[in-house]
Amino acid sequence: MMKATELRAKSVDELNAELIELRRAQFSMRMQLATQQLNKVDQIRKVRRDVARVRTVLAEKSKSSAKAA
């Protein structure tokens, strides 16, 4: 699990890369769940929340850059 403070320290490019990685992991887990190969189903929820955290921080950064301009 990532903390929002850790994410805020990252750049927008790093956050976008993190988001892509999390979405890949989420897709993989969904496929494993569908084929009944996923052992830890709670991981899906954690990844989904991490995706939401990254998106929230990205939105905050875009708002703050819009205000600064």
Read off the amino acid at residue 3: K
Q: Are 19 and 59 in contact (CB under 8 A)?
A: no
Whole-number pLDDT of residue 58? 95
Q: Domain boundaries in the chain?
A: 4-68
At the topology level, CATH places domain 4-68 in Helix Hairpins (1.10.287)
- If one counts every other C-beta atom within 10 angstroms of the C-beta of residue 48, the result is 13
60: Cα within 13 Å, side-chain hemisphere: 14
Residue 53 has pLDDT above 90, yes or no: yes
> Which residues fall within 8 angstroms of residue 26, CB to CB, at 6 or more apart?
44, 47, 48, 51
Whole-number pLDDT of residue 69? 67
pLDDT in tens, 32-52: 999 999 999 999 999 999 999
